[in-house]
Structure formats: structure tokens, C-alpha cells
Amino acid sequence: MAVDTGLFIAITLVYLLITIGLGYLGYRQTKGDDDYMVAGRKVHPVVLALSYGATFISTSAIIGFGGVAAQLGMGMIWLTVLNIGLGIFIAFIFFGKRTRSIGSRLRAVTFPDLMGKCYQSPFMRYTAGLVILISMPLYTAAILIGGAQFITSTLQIPYTTALIAFAAIVALYVILGGLIAVMYTDALQGGIMLVGMTILLVLTYVQLGGVVEANSALAAMSDLVPGALEAGGMTGWASMPEFGSSIWLTLVTTLVLGVGIGVLAQPQLVVRFMTVKDNRSLNRAVLVGGPFILMMTGVAFTVGALTNVYFYRTEGVIALQAATGGNIDTIFPNFINASMPDLFVVIFMLALLAAAMSTLSSLFHTMGTSLGFDVVRRTGAERPSMRLIQVATLVMIVISVVLAFIMPGSIIARATAMFMGLCASAFLPAYAHAMYSSRPSLRAAKMSLVAGAAVWFAWTAFVHIKESEPLGLSNLLFGVPAILPMPWQVVDPLVIALPLSAAALAVGWALDRHDVVAEGPAEAA
């Protein structure tokens, strides 16, 4: 269906004017470093919840993971359960309060800065910043790809034009307005996303004959599962794959655990806990954030699976066969454009743009501050200039756009899971230790961060077949695409790297305690 271009332009112009206005408001309110970096530590809890949720849920959750749900089915709903349980409740109550309190006391303004000050270690700050700079552009490029793909499929404009314009608009208010502008625009975009996803769920079920009929029709399609998926353990779109099968391992270890656990150590999310003035604000934010994440992910995964019913009824094919060029990232946009009323296509496009813009703005800000504040600050300069941070942000934006042009299709969900898995493996044990230990061990943190990152990269490069095969390092050095046999080739790096990272932390902590005990008698003598 062709979109009414005039209607789209009118609605989009209003949206962009409001977004630019909020960005300008953030620019006017940004008077110093704390304003640019942590929004002055006085953000309203509703703004925090919407900004956190909108940053967390991007086009990767809607387009990328919606496409995965269309391919693999309703088992993706388990990710929604973890997103709410870990990404909201545990994150806000158990990590958020400690992060806000410690971050405020130490005057930390970025995640690497928090780690560096907790451990009184430049190494922790530099290393955390470098991990962000190496990995986050991949995730950022995936978000850019998702937004640009939907703009292209909806408006029939060149992909290059869509991608560059999309990045430029977000870059404008991030570079000028800092985190205040980012959070204000995030809150607006979160509201648009909530409206769009709610309408999408209702219209999808109405079109498919209601909740019971649609879900029953999906369950009855199990005999249409393609042979390749069936051989991998898939049993249907309304059921989990066979326990222990390759598809089950991919679904559970990479998508559910990789993203569900990975959210706890996301630098762009952690910094939001430092933007409110007290713990009461965090408690209030949970009441908004939980339902928001439920609607965002739950709707995307449910509708994604149900696209199989729609395409089978209208075209006689399953959703995977309706994907453009076999790219599962196109399933959701194709479904929206083919099945929804013209007005809703425009509204949903704005919701997707809002989802992408909210996450992009946070990633741009995080990369820029990591580079300009944490990694390249001059020796002895406690606070680099805001201009340096703005230039660093622009550099990281350009790198992300270049990556978006060279990354392959069907990459959105995988890039998201990779980034979140790496963050959890490298950061989570050391982050938790810093928050809950009265005397955090620097040795333990160093061992954990290095072990987690190193094991994650090694498993990705030499074992996990989705990455090891295209990277080619395993084939170059060992003559095989992966050095371990199945089922290890579909076990996500997080499942191996995170436990080893936690074990390294425990060993380092035990060594420190042993050294303290050993030194005690000598000092007494």
C-alpha cells in the first residue's frame, strides 16, 4: 500500500518540530557538565521511566526481534518476562538505587566514570570506555538500519537518503542539548511508541478474527514449518522448540538470556539511574516502566508470530517466505504496509522512528561521552571541555553510519544480542561488586572485566557459528568454521563468558582477602 505522502509529511513535520523544540529546551537548560552528562540529576520519574524504556526498546526490538518472532514463534515472549523481571524490577530496585546513591556521592557522570571512581582506577575507566567504543557502534548501526529500512519501504525513497537524514536529525539535538535533550525527546518518543503499539495489537487481532481465532490459527500452522527449521527442533509458531535442539539453544541462550540478562549492564541505561534526585523517584518509575516494556516487547513478539497467519491467509505463504530477499528484518515493515490502514501506517512509522531515535540518541550520547570524557581526556584534566565531548560524539556518529552501510541484512536482532551479551560478560560482575561491596576489590574487577571480554570475543570468533563462520578467523587458523562441534556452535558467548567473568571476580576477591589476612600478622609483629 502506498502511504499518503502529504499526510505523512504533515504529521512528521509536526513531530519533528516538537522534537526539535524539546531538543532546544534541553540546550537552553544545559549550563554545565552535570547538565550535559546526567541531566542535572533532577529528572522527573515519569520522564526517567519513559526515557529508560524508549532507550531500551528500539527498532531492534520491534523490527528485528519482531522478525525473529515471525520466524521462530511465540517462544520470544520469554524475553518479555526477563525484560520486565530483570530489566525493570531488578535493574531499578537492586541496581538503580545503589547506582544513584553511589554515583551522586562520587559525582560520577558516565558508566566508565562510575567504575573508575568506585575502584579508584583509571584502568577501569579506560577499559570500560574502550569496550563501549569497540562494541556500541555495531548496535548503533543496527538501530540505524532498522529505522532506515522502514522509511525506505514506506516512502519508497533511497535507502542512503533515509539513513543519512535519519542520523543527522538525531545527531543535531544530541550534540547540542546533551542528556537533558535526549531524555525530554525520549519521553515524547516513548509516548508515541506506546500509542502505536497498543493500536497495532488491537488492529492485528481485529483483522485476524479475534484473540482466540488468531492464536488457534497460528497453533494449527505447525505442519507448515519449513524442513530446515523443523530439523533444527522447531515445533510450531505457538510452542517452544524441542528442548536442547539448535533452535532452542539459539532462542534461549542468545535471544532470551543474551538480551534479558544483558540489559542489567547497559551503559546507556545505567547512567539514567544517576539522573534522578532520590530513590523514591526510582520506585515511581518502576510503575511506569514495567507496563511500558510489557506493551513494547509483548506486542512486537505477539504480532511478529501472528504475521504468519496473515500472510498465509492473504498470500498462501508463511512470514519467512514473505520476507523481501529472505531478510527477516523486512517482515514487520511488509506486514504493516500490507495490512494496516493508511493513517495507521503513518502513525506506526512515527512510532518506529521514535523507537529508533530514542535509542540512537542515547547511544550517540554514550559513545560521545565515553570517547571524549573517559578515553581521550588529557592527562591531569579532571573535566574535558564540552566541545571535545561534542566533537567526539560526532566522530562516533560518523563511524556508526559507515558501519550501517556495510553490515549485512537480517543483522538487527543478532547485533543487539551481541552487544548486550558482551556488556553483561564484561561489566555485570564488576558492576554488581562495586555497588554492593563496602571495599570493592580492584584486582577482582580487573580480572572479571578482562576475562569476561576476552572469553566473549574468543567464543564469538572461534565457536559461535553465526559469527565465527563469516569472520573467518577459525577457518584461517584451524581450517574449520568453528573449533567445537554442535551443539556448542549455537550456544551464545554470554552463557560461557558471564559465568567465567563471575568466577574470575570471585578468585580475585579471594586472593585479595588472602593477602590482607597474610599481611595482618606481619604488620602486628
Taking a C-beta distance cutoff of 8 angstroms, is the pair 61, 260 a contact? Answer: no
Say how far apart CA 17 and CA 11 lie, in whole Å: 10
**Residue bearing cell 515511581:** 284
Residue 428 has pLDDT above 90, yes or no: yes
Q: Per-residue pLDDT tens for 3-20?
A: 566 777 788 788 878 888
1 falls in which pLDDT band (50, 70, 90)? Answer: very low
35 falls in which pLDDT band (50, 70, 90)? Answer: low
**Residue bearing cell 584461517:** 476
Residue 312: the pLDDT is: 93
φ and ψ at residue 274, rounded to 5 degrees:
-90, 5
For 410, the grid coordinates are 537480517
For 358, the grid coordinates are 530514542
DSSP one-letter string for 321-362? HHSGGG-GGGHHHHHHHHHS-HHHHHHHHHHHHHHHHHHHHH
Neighbours of 36 (CB within 10 A): 27
The residues, ordered by sequence, that sit 6+ positions from 42 with a Cβ below 8 Å of its Cβ are 275, 276, 277
Say how far apart CA 385 and CA 372 lie, in whole Å: 9
Among left, alpha and beta (phi > 0; psi -120 to 50; other), residue 316 is left
Measure Cα distances from 159 to 7, 145, 155, 251 in Å.
21, 9, 10, 30
Higher pLDDT, 390 or 422: 422
Residue 151 has pLDDT above 50, yes or no: yes
Residue 512: the pLDDT is: 85
DSSP one-letter string for 360-421? HHHHHHHHHHIIIIIISPPTT-SS--HHHHHHHHHHHHHHHHHHHHHS-SS-HHHHHHHHHH
Say how far apart CA 83 and CA 296 lie, in whole Å: 10
Say how far apart CA 330 and CA 150 lie, in whole Å: 8
Say how far apart CA 252 and CA 72 lie, in whole Å: 11
Q: What length does the chain have?
A: 525
Name which of 61, 83, 413, 72 is nearest 239 in CA terms: 72
What is the mean predicted confidence (pLDDT) over 61-73?
A: 85
> DSSP label at 236?
-
Say how far apart CA 440 and CA 431 lie, in whole Å: 10
SS (H, E, C) 126-151: HHHHHHHHHHHHHHHHHHHHHHHHHH
What is the mean predicted confidence (pLDDT) over 91-102?
A: 90
Residue 311: the pLDDT is: 94
Quote the mean pLDDT of the chain.
84
Please give the model's pTM, rounded to 2 decimal places.
Answer: 0.84
Residue 124 has pLDDT above 80, yes or no: yes
User: With 0-12 CB in 10 A as exposed, 13-18 as middle and 19+ as buried, what is 249?
Assistant: buried
User: With 0-12 CB in 10 A as exposed, 13-18 as middle and 19+ as buried, what is 256?
Assistant: buried
User: Where in the chain are the domains?
Assistant: 5-424, 441-525
> DSSP label at 241?
P
Say how far apart CA 337 and CA 45 lie, in whole Å: 35
Neighbours of 309 (CB within 10 A): 25
Q: Which of 171-185, 186-200, 239-253, 492-506 has the lowest mean pLDDT?
A: 171-185
Say how far apart CA 189 and CA 55 lie, in whole Å: 10
Higher pLDDT, 89 or 146: 89
Taking a C-beta distance cutoff of 8 angstroms, is the pair 117, 132 a contact? Answer: no
Residue 379 has pLDDT above 50, yes or no: no
What is the mean predicted confidence (pLDDT) over 385-390?
A: 76
For 307, the grid coordinates are 504475521
Residue 458 has pLDDT above 90, yes or no: yes
Higher pLDDT, 392 or 435: 435
Residue 37 has pLDDT above 80, yes or no: no
Residue 175 has pLDDT above 50, yes or no: yes
Percent pLDDT > 90 in the chain is 32
Number of helical (H) and strand (E) elements in the chain, helices listed first: 25, 0
433 falls in which pLDDT band (50, 70, 90)? Answer: very high
Angle ∠(411,168,193) on CA atoms, nearest 5 = 60
Higher pLDDT, 54 or 196: 196
User: With 0-12 CB in 10 A as exposed, 13-18 as middle and 19+ as buried, what is 194?
Assistant: buried
Residue 524: the pLDDT is: 40
For 18, the grid coordinates are 516538537
Pick the CATH number of 5-424 from 3.30.1280.10, 1.20.1250.20, 1.20.1730.10, 1.10.10.10: 1.20.1730.10
Residue 212: the pLDDT is: 94
Which of the listed ranges 58-72, 162-176, 390-404 does the model predict with the highest average pLDDT?
A: 390-404
